[in-house]
Chain A
Amino acid sequence: MPQVKIIAKNFMDMVASLPAIKLDILYHNQFICEAILRSMPPLAKKYVLQMLYIDVPMTFKSLQEWVLADGSSKHQVAIDRLIQLRVLEVIDRKKETTYKLKPTFQTNLRKHLIYGGILSREPMPSNVVARLPTLEELDAYAHEQWECFLLQLISSGQAERSSSFSSSMMRIFQRGLLRQRDKEAPRLTESGFQFLLMDTNAQLWYIIREYISNSEEQGVDQADLIAFLLELSFHTTGEAYNLNTLADDQEAMIKDLADLGLVKLQQGRRERWFIPTKLATNLSVSLTDSSSRKQGFVVVETNFRMYAYSSSKLHCEILRLFSRVEYQLPNLIVGAITKESLYNAFENGITAEQIITFLQQNAHPRVAEKLPSVPENVTDQIRLWETDLNRVEMTPAHFYDEFSSRDIFESASDFARVHGGLLWEDAKKMQMAVKAEIHMLMREHLRGNK
């Protein structure tokens, strides 16, 4: 099966790819330092804090002493990440390389830890702001906006209302996720299927990444947008912030963010404000976080029947990807996981692991407490059905026949074996199959022998 994977890379990869000058400007903001610190692997976070008050450069060896032998690979990953984000500066000396924290980052993080950070934006006083939505209402709103957007993304006909994103913007989001042939309805690509099965945070990062990459073409500075988004994640969920505290390009962005469900726009008699939702405040959290998981809704039984307590069209579409939906009641979707439906999914590029992960992550609270949340016989069978399609493995090869003498045959087969390319041989008939990769080498070897 083709293993196409869209890895919704952490936002930080995008940050890391900014030019050095812009990154330096970003690091002047304490909150961005904090967001970047939080995005690092755990060991890297530790190293930053340990080196926070060390002003002398440290040698590679002394850094290695911090970690045990078991952790040397994690150590390397952490160091690489720090260098990639330009948090750690490499000073090449003649004897050995030394490392030092980037001064801007260091100073600002120190200030942040000792004095704490204060947002430049204050929430509006409650007497000016009319009835604010409760946290539950806000969550529901965010969820609804996001689902609507997703539905429109994958099939514009299904959405109840269209977002204010221009059609060109939607096309950019759909790039890579949908494929359209002439006179046909757009179909999801393999990446599109995988996108749907990812969890909300990962999907959000993907969309935001596309949005920001596109903004450069529209003349808006990427670094500014990134800084604004990161700052947004430190605002308080549910509090109102005045729109007049935003710069022009930030105000333009706010409207788009409202469509995605990151903020809610409201207006009073004289003022207009925005309220960050949980989707926004969870932006600075890493992709593996579990708090962003919404409540699960799927129950899978050992007889392969599936009950999904949801009324969302999006959920129905997702379940249709790999199961046979049988009934749809006002609050319940009943279906079954069958061989045909799974084969259908596999053909579309979805892997068994993705399906199983989706079922596990969205397990209904009643079954989520049990281990395993999805019955083992179901998960095993899904994997078996996947391997069914992989029964035959194909390797490009060349077939050699009619060797003039046994010696040449044997030297050729030894040669192939040494190079790890011997797939099959029959000593009696003096025939062998050799991997295509070493075909050229074999030819030279055989020519040399003559």
Chain B
Amino acid sequence: MASAPSKLYADDVSLVVVLLDTNPFFWSSSSLSFLQFLSHVLSFLNSILTLNQLNQVVVIATGYNSCDYIFDSSLDLKRSLENGRMPVMCSSLLQKLEEFSFKDEQLSKEEPEGRIKCSLLSGSLSMALCYIQRVFRSGALHPHPRVPIDSCYMGAQNSAFLQQASYITGGVHHKPQNLDGLFQYLMTIFAADLHSRSFLHLPKPVGVDFRASCFCHKNTIDMGYICSVCLSIFCKHHKKCSTCGSVFGQAQSEAASASDKKRKTPET
């Protein structure tokens, strides 16, 4: 469905955390096979590592039931800094990916049926942001790093969530038209380091859909109910908030008619 890289800034040096969506339900019906997609992405990752000796790439797989780190270029394999060499990188990444998919599938068997077939993007995003925070805390250079979220979206519909995320964080959202040339899209749009972005002509957001989505069905809604404790959004009335567990009172219409009897001056 999508792969969202997040980036950090220090001159030309970048830390790119790539969130790869490995949802099997999507990939089984996609025009671009997962293998072909991977080959584009691997070359993209290698290009980022080639651009600057200090660049770092981390890959997190976003699965159907779980998320996990499958590659970190800073982890030394042989006490060397140059382990981002392609053959080594490929084999370790692919191996971890295979293990991850297997584990993810196993978890599916324990899950009850009827769940919406979406990937755990929020989980992997949280993992990515925590990782970035940790790196910065040990680096002591920028206390508040700027982390734009770029999203590369593949698939039929549009993702309002990704569009909003990219717009708000100052990243780039793009849906490649021609998936055969995915590598070229990745190189042209997503490989730019943060500093150069202010000079480059990148796709601008056209008509971002800012509507909220309800928490129960993930539909975009204009009017809905909001929990006053945690601000979760629902499209229809619930007895209890599914996020924070606070019990809601009666619905607005019933409550007004009940208090009418108590007040001296009825309110409309």
Q: Write the residues of chain A forming the contact surface with B, with a CB cutoff of 8 angstroms.
A: 34, 37-38, 42-43, 45-46, 49-50, 52-53, 65-68, 70-71, 74-75, 112-118, 135, 234-239, 281-282, 284-285, 288-291, 369
Contacts and interface: CB of A to CB of B under 8 A. Distances in A.
Interface string B134-175: 000000100000000000000000000000000000000000
A43 B46 contact: no
A147 to B, nearest CB: 23
A50 B188 contact: yes
Contacts of B86: 112-117
B80 A116 contact: no
Candidate in A49, A115, A289 with the most chain B CB atoms within 10 angstroms: A49
Given A118-B87, A237-B80, A289-B54, A46 B11 contact: no
Contacts of A38: 50-53
B201 A68 contact: yes
B191 interface: yes
Given A68-B198, A115-B86, 12 more contacts: A34-B50, A38-B52, A52-B187, A65-B201, A113-B47, A116-B89, A118-B85, A236-B80, A238-B80, A281-B81, A282-B53, A290-B10
Contacts of A284: 53
Given A285-B53, A291-B54, A43 B199 contact: yes
Nearest to A236: B80
Interface in B12-65: 12, 43, 46-47, 50-54
B101 to A, nearest CB: 24
B178 interface: no
Q: Which of A34, A50, A113, A115 has the most CB of B within 10 A?
A: A113
B217 interface: no
Size range of the chain B interface in the assembly? 35 or more
Contacts of A135: 79
B77 to A, nearest CB: 10
A49 B85 contact: no
Contacts, number: 96
Given A45-B51, A113-B46, A118-B87, A70 B81 contact: no
B193 interface: yes
A284 B52 CA distance: 9
A46 B196 contact: yes
B78 interface: yes
A25 B67 CA distance: 47
A237 B201 contact: no
A181 to B, nearest CB: 44
B116 interface: no
A116 B46 contact: yes
Contact of B51 (A37, A50, A288, A290): A37
A121 to B, nearest CB: 13
Contacts of A70: 198-199
A238 B81 CA distance: 10
A113 to B, nearest CB: 5
B80 A50 contact: no
Contact of B81 (A42, A65, A113, A237): A237
A245 to B, nearest CB: 18
A74 B81 contact: no
8 contacts: A42-B12, A49-B187, A68-B198, A70-B198, A70-B199, A71-B198, A113-B43, A289-B54
Contacts of A369: 140
A37 B199 contact: no
B258 interface: no
Contacts of A117: 85-86
B47 A49 contact: yes
Contacts of A71: 198-200
Nearest to B189: A50
B200 A66 contact: yes
A75 B51 contact: no
Contacts of A49: 47, 51, 187, 191
Contact of A37 (B50, B88, B89, B200): B50
Nearest to B186: A49
B199 A116 contact: no
Nearest to A134: B79
Contacts of A66: 200-201
A356 B82 CA distance: 34
Interface string B66-108: 0000000000001111100111111000000000000000000
A67 B199 contact: yes
Contacts of B88: 116
B183 A53 contact: yes
B239 to A, nearest CB: 53
Contacts of B193: 42
Given A113-B50, A238-B79, A291-B54, A67 B43 contact: no
Identify the 5 closest CB pairs spanning chains A and B, nearest first: A116-B86, A71-B199, A236-B80, A42-B12, A49-B187
A68 B199 contact: yes
Nearest to B88: A116
A229 to B, nearest CB: 15
Contacts of B184: 50, 53
A68 to B, nearest CB: 6
A31 to B, nearest CB: 10
B195 A42 contact: yes
Contact of A67 (B12, B79, B82, B200): B200
B192 interface: yes
Contacts of A65: 201
Given A38-B51, A49-B187, A289-B54, A116 B87 contact: yes
